[in-house]
Amino acid sequence: MPRYLISFDDGAMDFIPEEEGPAVAEAAHAVIREAQGAGVWVFAGGVYPHGEVSPRVVAPDGTVTDGAKSKAYIAGVTIIDVPSLEEALQWAAKIAAACRCAQEVREFGPDPAVGN
């Protein structure tokens, strides 16, 4: 089955009042539990804001530098394994409602050499 990345950028949830954060987190966790129960969940998690933890860039020669400050960064990701884009979009809609922000959906390319 195809795997899909559902994500949103850093700052997408900044408009949510701090006191509503726990309710948003519970709503998001409820969607993840639903995806787990449906057997489509692969992975989900939030990424530290780049203001708290600097992203690092590793060059082909192994040189490590700080990531660009002006670049948009992914703040949250969910990976699901579903039979169609339509089903991935349905899960993205549930996550968007729970997180109160738009979600981007991308399909992973198959790579039989690594088992997907």
What single-letter DSSP state applies at residue 20?
G
pLDDT at 34: 98
Structural domain count, the chain: 1
Instruction: With respect to residue 79, please indicate whether it lies within any of the assigned structural domains.
Output: yes
Residue 86 sits in a domain whose CATH number is 3.30.70.1060
Average pLDDT over residues 17-38: 97
Within-domain flag for 13: yes
- Read off the tokens for 3: 């795997």
* pLDDT of amino acid 49: 80
Average pLDDT of the residues in 55-73: 86
Q: What is the DSSP letter of 11?
A: T
Angle ∠(99,103,104) on CA atoms, nearest 5? 160
Residue 16 belongs to some domain of the structure: yes
Answer yes or no: is 34 within a domain.
yes
On whether residue 58 sits in a domain, the answer given is no
- Residue range(s) defining the domain that contains residue 45: 3-50+72-111
